[in-house]
Amino acid sequence: MDELDFEFVARLWLYQGKGAWHFITVPEEQSEQIKFFTSPDVTGRKKRGWGSVRVTASIGKSQWQTSIFPSKSSGCYLLPVKKDIRKSERIVAEDDVSVRLTIKTGL
C-alpha cells in the first residue's frame, strides 16, 4: 500500500484565537485510521513534529500539499485551509465541505 485515500464531509470552522486560521476537523473514524497507518509501529519511521502527518488535500478543484495535526481536545486531526483555497472554492466558516486527503505511506 503506497497511499491512503480518505473522503469525507465536514464543517469549516474559524479558530478562536490569534490569527484567522480556518480548519476542518477530520472525522473520528478517519482520524483513527490515519493514526494507525502512520504510527511508527506500522511505518518504522519516526513521528514528525507535533504528531503532524503530510497530506495532499483536495476541496473541489483545488489541491494542495499540507500537514494535518492532532487536536488534544478532540483526538482528531485538524486540516488547515488556506485563504487562497477558501477563496477559490468560495467556502466560508460554517460551510460543510467535501474533502479528500491522500497520504503517502511508503508501505
Among 11, 8, 26, which Cα is nearest to 92's?
11
* pLDDT computed for residue 95 by the predictor: 98
Q: Which pTM was predicted?
A: 0.86
Q: Which residues pair with 68 in a beta bridge?
A: 53
∠ CA 96-32-107, rounded to 5°: 110
* pLDDT computed for residue 36 by the predictor: 83
* pLDDT computed for residue 3 by the predictor: 85
SS3 state of residue 93: coil
- Nearest-angstrom CA–CA distance, 107 and 104: 8
* pLDDT digits (tens), the chain, 107 positions: 578 999 999 999 999 877 789 999 999 999 999 988 876 555 545 565 567 899 999 999 999 999 999 999 999 999 999 999 999 999 999 999 999 999 987 54
Q: Which CATH superfamily is domain 3-104 in?
A: AF2212/PG0164-like (2.40.30.100)
